[in-house]
A and B are shown apart, each in its own frame.
Chain A
């Protein structure tokens, strides 16, 4: 059981290190999917949401990590 837990932990660790960043990425992908479904005649809008959403999520997450780190003594 411990070995299985370890394998699961290691496998999820490949993709999720900071849970907040993973959630932000998934949220951006969901937004892009909704946009693609809602306005199918403008597919580039979904691409824009995806690209700028991910870049924004990265900046936001780095900034938050930095702020949290500087508050920690």
Chain B
């Protein structure tokens, strides 16, 4: 059950990169709220979201120790497969230009426009509405971060390193956001999602197999092989889809 560096390295990297993506998305909404109504409702909403997340972690954390290991591995493995392959599929379709790229500037504009529209209708309650938007963004994106940290760390007792990876990403995004006070539109979000999708899918295969009792050859090193396979298939899929779209347009 001892974790090796071939396990800890990819797990911490995946937690860091995934949290970076989620934190950038949450920051966009918090900045939109701050732009329309100031930092007070934005900050209070974000802090409340973080507080509720902390309560969820403290309340649910000890329950994990009571779940039998094989069941924990199987459940986490299947959830990681669903989560990771969902990200990977979307990243492939975006890279192949089948669906448009996620645009932080567009999200920021849409959120500020919506808050301004609400301002005209409910001027008196707007601080609440704005704070709620900030709270919801931090809570929902934060839930994804919590899930990723638990999923990558719980099965091998490396919750500490994966939490540090996630926390580092969130603090980095928060610091950059406070300094530049603009959505982080230059973060290559799709590339990050592609990489994280590959890693989470690989961990999903590994944990689901472990939960079923599959003795993976090379034990933890199998994760590196799975990452390479998902990466190769993902990149090949982007090329094939791009080629087929080019041919169908000519």
Contact = CB atoms under 8 A, between A and B. Distances in A.
Interface of A: 10-11, 14-18, 21-22, 25-26, 29, 32-33, 36, 43-44, 46-47, 50-51, 54-55, 57-59, 61-63, 65-66, 69-70
Contacts of A61: 89
B214 A17 contact: no
Interface of B: 78-79, 81-83, 85-86, 88-90, 92-93, 96, 98-99, 140, 143-144, 147, 201, 204-205, 208-209, 212-217, 226, 229-230, 233-234, 237, 241, 244-245, 248
Given A14-B143, A14-B144, A36 B241 contact: no
Main secondary structure of the interface of A (DSSP, over half): helix
Contact of B83 (A14, A18, A54, A63): A14
Contacts, number: 101
The prevalent SS among residues of B at the interface is helix
Nearest to B230: A55
A54 B86 contact: no
A47 B241 contact: no
